Amino acid sequence: MKAAVGLRLAVLGVVAVSLFGALITRLWYLQVLTAPSYQLAAEQNQVRLIPLPAPRGRILDRHGEVIVDNRMSTVVTVDRTALDPDHRPVLLARLAALLGEPVDVVATRLDDRRRNPVLPVPVAEEVGDEVVVAIRERPDLFDPKLVSAHQVAVRSYPHGPLAAHVVGYVGEINDRELEAHHGEGYRLGDEIGKSGVELVHEDALRGSVGFEKLEIDSSGRALGVLGRREPVRGSDVYLSIDITLQRSAEVALVDGLESNRARVDRETGRRYESPAGSVVIIDPRDGGVLAMASHPTYDPSEFVGGISFDLFDRLQDPANHSPLNNRAIQGEYAPGSTFKLITATAALLEGLITPQTTITDRGSIRVGNRTFRNAGSRSYGAVALTRAITVSSDVFFYLLGRSFWEEAANREGIQDTARAYGLGTETGIDLPFEADGRVPDAATRRALHAANPDAFPESRWFTGDNVNLAIGQGELVVTPLQLANAYATFANGGNRLVPHVVHRIESSLGRTVFEAEAVVAGRVDLAPDHAAAMLSGLRNVTSSTEGTAVFAFSGFDQSSYPVAGKTGTAQIAGTHDTAVFVAFAPADAPELAVVVVMEESGFGSTAAAPVARRILEVAAGHTEPIVRDLVATPLAGDEEEVAR
């Protein structure tokens, strides 16, 4: 009996010894064999990295005037996805008490359906330090998973919407951008350049994020700072833009459109709509863009802290004339008579004419069964190249268009010259979403027809098409920048440059990391006497009694600042004409080329040329720079909102 009990006790003893053995083995494994990995985990447990956002670099004009700056703003955000409906009233009451605002105001911000539903919603911006301290010190009241108070560097715009289309705007990074920038350290919620220089020079402007290493306890309470890596501010981007010219261009454009709306189109008896337009000024010597205006415009500060879905939609709405679009590089317009620069160049290069070749302009020509007329059916009599440009004789250029297609060795000489001036392809400017325009020829005609036979029923190219092309009509479309660059090419003696808006980039340490230089993309070689004849024609546009822009330039002192220019009036089916004016000055040693395009505004001479004149007065130093605050173009529906 006793022995049996002893045996059973021995069994239990063996069980106990094995269990203790198992525990000791496990302890040895945890505390000796794999201890380092647990020590690492313990260290990570108590450390949290708080990213310190790097202020973006500034954007300045060529003289160092700040166009886009930064300021620090403290925001309080609530993560709606983690908010328990039962906890919501409690949290709202606490936030309202802390912020000193009514509960329903905080609730409205929290429920803002225009905000991205998956990202934390800002319920207060620009809050004071006491709010930050209260939130950080009381995780029991403000669950750190729900409520966060942190500093963000936000964009500020000391000059308002000035040059909005050039500088662009920033916004929260989206999934597509996150994927495209994979491995570059972007995280959800980060800001990224979305358009303009902000987008193109994102890498330079962005800077590098700093970190603060905090010791935290298990409830997420920060106990102290273990280390800090300072953020490095992004590089400053200096534009080739001259803020004085930019402001003048924007004001002149918006004023010009406004005053043109009071005028009546004699053909239709209706007032001009003049809803939109664009001005581009470039330096023909280096391709630097001195001013670039697009109307309607928008206020980039609307994007600070996240733009509402509703406003973003309205800024893209064609009914509002898509204010976000930069018409200077995205707008595609028939250039009208401003294209005669190209036709004339082509004819001289091809040897179809010399400056002395004279034709008789009887007001119209017949091609096949169609009659092509001068604008206003005027006839100019004996016309050679210079005068043809000055008076804008369509008949002269119709004949050239016909000759090319029917007689020239190179039947597509006009198109080839257009391409040599840079039309039909992107200029390569350092701005995103540039349009390429179209130089129509037999090939593009076939392609258009194949793609859309209903809109383009004809698949062949006729003499009439070439005649139309010669005066800048038909399927030809150019961007205002392309047109400015073509005239700049002529103005500087034939070097087609790649235009640019960024002049220089300077790192936060003051080192120049990028400097723009003139890049030649092509050449147009005109004999000096040929070029001189064309230049005379362009000079006379603004200065001879016959010039098409002479009224617009009456009283403009050209002795010290001669202006060469060309008007254009492009017919658009179903609506008012597009008014175009292009000029370069001083004509003898050009420092700038300017293009003004105004949609649904009638004649280039009466609508667009006065706008250019006003800008050139400033450039010439004849008048003081225009000083006026710029505002975003009001959107349709804004009044409604005010009324509500």
Partner 1 sequence: MTLFGGASDPLRSTAKRRDDAAPWRHVDLFIVAPVVVLSVLGTVMIYSATRTPIEQSGGDPTTFLDRQLLFVAVGLVTMAVVATVDYRRLSDGAWLVFGLAVVALVAVISPLGTESKGAQAWFQLGSFQLQPSEFAKPAVIVALAALAARSGGEVSLRRVAQVLAVTALPVGLIYLQPDVGTILVFFAVLGGLLVAAGVKGRHLTVLGLIAVLGVFGMFRLDVLEDYQQARLTAFIDPADDLQRAGYNQNQSQIAIGAGGFAGAGLFEGSQTNLSYVPEQHTDFIFTAVGEELGFLGAASVLALFALLVARVWRAARLSADLLGTLLCVGIMSMLVFQVFQNVGMATGIMPITGIPLPFLSYGGSGTITAFITVGLALNVGMRRFV
Closer to partner 1 by Cβ: residue 20 or 433: 20
CB 5, min distance to partner 1, A: 6
164-223 positions binding partner 1, by CB under 8 A? 215-219, 223
Alpha helices in 358-510 (DSSP H): 385-391, 394-406, 413-420, 442-451, 463-470, 480-491
The yes or no reply on residue 20 touching partner 1 (CB under 8 A) is yes
Closer to partner 1 by Cβ: residue 34 or 410: 34
CB 116, min distance to partner 1, A: 25
Which of 4, 118, 455, 643 lies at the binding interface for partner 1 (CB under 8 A)?
A: 4
Closer to partner 1 by Cβ: residue 15 or 532: 15
CB 189, min distance to partner 1, A: 21
CB 62, min distance to partner 1, A: 55
Closer to partner 1 by Cβ: residue 111 or 137: 137
Asked if residue 296 has a cis previous peptide bond (ω within 30° of 0), the answer is yes
CB 12, min distance to partner 1, A: 6
The yes or no reply on residue 84 touching partner 1 (CB under 8 A) is no
Count the helix, strand and coil residues of the chain and give each as a percent rounded to the nearest 5: 40, 20, 40
CB 214, min distance to partner 1, A: 12
List Cβ neighbours of 169 (8 Å cut-off, separation of 6 or more). Answer: 155, 193, 194, 195, 196, 198, 300, 303
Measured between alpha carbons, how far is 232 from 56 in angstroms, rounded to an integer?
Answer: 9
What distances in angstroms separate CA 173 from CA 170, 188, 191, 225, 502, one per listed residue?
Answer: 9, 6, 6, 29, 23
Closer to partner 1 by Cβ: residue 185 or 220: 220
Stretch touching partner 1 by CB under 8 A, among 17-25, 322-330, 420-428, 474-482: 17-25
- What are the φ and ψ backbone dihedral angles of 468, each rounded to 5 degrees? -65, -45
Q: What is the DSSP string of 216-275?
A: E-TT--EEEEEEEE--BPPPEEEES--HHHHHHHHHHHHHHHHHHTTSB-TTT-PBP---
22-61 positions binding partner 1, by CB under 8 A? 22-24, 26-28, 30-32, 34-35, 37-39, 41-43, 45-46
Closer to partner 1 by Cβ: residue 11 or 450: 11
414-453 positions binding partner 1, by CB under 8 A? none
The yes or no reply on residue 14 touching partner 1 (CB under 8 A) is no
The yes or no reply on residue 512 touching partner 1 (CB under 8 A) is no
Measured between alpha carbons, how far is 610 from 172 in angstroms, rounded to an integer?
Answer: 41
CB 129, min distance to partner 1, A: 22
The yes or no reply on residue 137 touching partner 1 (CB under 8 A) is no
CB 141, min distance to partner 1, A: 14
Measured between alpha carbons, how far is 52 from 305 in angstroms, rounded to an integer?
Answer: 17
Report residue 463 as tokens.
Answer: 């003499």
Closer to partner 1 by Cβ: residue 12 or 455: 12
List Cβ neighbours of 563 (8 Å cut-off, separation of 6 or more). Answer: 539, 542, 543, 553, 556, 583, 584, 585, 586, 587, 616
Measured between alpha carbons, how far is 10 from 30 in angstroms, rounded to an integer?
Answer: 30
The yes or no reply on residue 11 touching partner 1 (CB under 8 A) is yes
How many contiguous H segments (helices) and E segments (strands) does the chain have? 22, 23
Residues of the shown chain interacting with partner 1 in the complex, contacts defined by CB under 8 A: 1-2, 4-6, 8-9, 11-13, 15-16, 19-20, 22-24, 26-28, 30-32, 34-35, 37-39, 41-43, 45-46, 215-219, 223
